[in-house]
Amino acid sequence: MDRELINNVNLIYQSYINNSNNNYVFTYIDDNIVILQKVDITITNENRQNIINSYYAKYYGYNFKVEHIFNLWNPYITFKTKNLDCCNNKNDKITLILTKNKFIRTSNEEEEIDDSDIIMHDLYYLDYYNNINIVIYKILHRYITNLNNYRGELYTWSDNGELLSHQIYY
């Protein structure tokens, strides 16, 4: 099941995945994958020194533009807006509002924000990956409670992109 799911998502969203500029990155909310666009004002930690494999590493950043939000189980189901409850850099609980074709904003920011006047700040950061398959496996891992009934492959990576495990279940 996982290989078919991955192939389907990769086929539908290949224009974002195979982007030669590497300006699209991926995160998730519940069972939904969010495609984010890095823009001129995006700040990330991709230059950190301890990366083993940048294709599989977990990164943090802010000032992303939301390009697309879709459901993993049926990638044709898309959303205009999704909320993400998380913590800011002071560990205060906040809600991020992700809206297609808009910059991510917090619930306490103005309802209508002029994207041309985005003020750079680091009140929050979002974790993301350069590889959409990592995001798919992150969602799959949450559903696999009994490995005796699971059929497919499972991968686990550390935050620096090092492969920790690859197991095949028949």
Widest Cα–Cα separation across the chain: 53
The better pLDDT of the pair 148, 30 is held by 30
State pTM to two decimals.
Answer: 0.80
Ranked by mean pLDDT, which of 80-94, 114-128, 132-146 comes out on top? 132-146
Task: Give CA angle at 58 (16, 133), nearest 5°.
Answer: 45
Rounded to whole angstroms, the Cα distance separating 100 from 102 reads 5
User: Do the beta carbons of residue 98 and residue 70 sit within 8 Å?
Assistant: no
Backbone angles phi, psi at 76, to 5 degrees: -85, -15
- The whole-number pLDDT of residue 160 equals 94
* pLDDT tens figures, 53-70: 998 999 988 888 888 889
The pLDDT of residue 25 is above 60: yes
* Tokens describing residue 37: 């666009």
The pLDDT of residue 119 is above 50: no
